[in-house]
Structure 1
Amino acid sequence: MKKALLLYSSREGQTVKILRFIEKELAATYQCELVDLHEKPEVDFTQYDKVMIGASIRYGHLNKKLYQFIEKNLSKLNSGKVAFFCVNLTARKPGKDTPEGSVYVQKFLKLSPWQPELIDVFAGALYYPRYRFFDRIMIQFIMKMTGGETDASKEVEYTNWERVKGFSKQFCAF
């Protein structure tokens, strides 16, 4: 069976949840390994037929460790079948839920020396009860400014699972 490496850079866990969904979608074709790229900066890409990287936005930025991973593994990323997706709350809005319409994906493409051939963006989730006080207040402020949910007692998932399923199919055909 073919092997796929699913790497993640996640803050609150929605990116991991998306990758677990993708793992189930790929199960008939790929044996998947799910790995936190913050904990495993060394990857033997030769062990995998394909690689997917999922990363989340927090306060407008991807984690610096993602960029460090890319710089360290740039030649391997460029020579293999490697896909990328970004998770953020802005993608809950139509027009901002595509790589072309996502300010975060466009920013990533400008900052990153790696330009993935297969790329997408998915809306994340709000987990107000799980946030620390400061994070909850900041996220409420951002959501108020952008017309989103501000009730601190709620957990709201915005991820469009049909889009994730479509990306999984693209990855298989990639």
Structure 2
Amino acid sequence: MARFLVLFGTGEGQTRTVAERIEATLTARGHDVETVDVDERPAFDVETFDAVLIGSSIHVGKHHAGIDEFVGTNREALNARPTAFFQVSLSSAVDDPERRAEAARYVDDLLEESDWRPDRIGLFGGALRYSKYGFLKRLLLKRIARDATGDVDTSRDYEYTDWTEVEAFAEDFAAFVEGRLGTDDPPAHETGRTE
């Protein structure tokens, strides 16, 4: 069993939901997982964890400020252990190669600025939470959505996250960590999974 930190920064909550699904997947494999919102200003030592997953939403081309700060402050500790990064954005929700390349550039910029080298990277579609936006943000996102997804009915919310992809990302990173730390994947009967 490994000790995982899942740290996330979110705007309207979709990154939290992704982090919770990752936590559930890791827990099902028998690992000890602590999931923390970066806005809660966590007071812990990264070095007490065997592996770290960090997730951030993208809003107007920027990662969550708390995630940028955390990665910059903890770069050495992060580079000394298995790590993964996941990003949640509207750009990753569409099949447009230009928008997907844009999502990848956001990650590249973060990693270049921080000199962090995560072992795994996941890019997931986010959500449009029109019900949580103020008037101006709703108008801005409606305009962005018109070109990206076409989902401009502001009377409802839209979710684009591929949960199978999220679980596969968590499973892949868990297997990597287990291999690196020399721990075994628990038998299926211990995790409730079926073969």
Do they fold alike, i.e. is TM over 0.5? yes
The runs of 4+ residues in structure 1 deviating greater than 6 Å are 96-101
Q: Which amino acid is the alignment partner of residue 92 of structure 1?
A: A
Measure, in 1, the Cα distance between the counterparts of 2:24 and 2:165.
15
Alpha-carbon deviation of 1:41? Answer: 5.1
Alpha-carbon deviation of 1:23? Answer: 1.1
**2:40 counterpart SS class:** coil
The aligned counterpart of 1:3 is: 3
**For structure 1, which segment, 6-15 or 136-145, has the greater mean C-alpha deviation from structure 2 after superposition?**
136-145
Percent identity reads 35
**1:17 counterpart SS class:** helix
Measure, in 2, the Cα distance between the counterparts of 1:23 and 1:99.
28
Given the alignment of the two structures, is residue 153 of structure 1 paired with residue 155 of structure 2, yes or no? yes
| Bigger Rg, which one | 2
- In structure 2, stretches of 5+ residues that fail to align are 177-195
Map 1:4-19 to 2 at 5 A.
4-19=4-19
Structure 2 length as normaliser, TM-score?
Answer: 0.81
Structure 1 length as normaliser, TM-score?
Answer: 0.90
Measure, in 2, the Cα distance between the counterparts of 1:161 and 1:96.
23
Given the alignment of the two structures, is residue 167 of structure 1 paired with residue 172 of structure 2, yes or no? no
Alpha-carbon deviation of 1:11? Answer: 0.7
Alpha-carbon deviation of 1:123? Answer: 0.3
- In structure 1, stretches of 5+ residues that fail to align are none
The aligned counterpart of 1:124 is: 126
Higher strand content, 1 or 2 = 1
Given the alignment of the two structures, is residue 104 of structure 1 paired with residue 101 of structure 2, yes or no? no
Number of corresponding residues: 174
Measure, in 1, the Cα distance between the counterparts of 2:8 and 2:98.
22
Give me the CA root mean square deviation: 2.1
Higher helix content, 1 or 2 = 2
Q: Closer, same or farther in 2 for the Cα pair 1:158/1:96, shift >3 Å?
A: farther
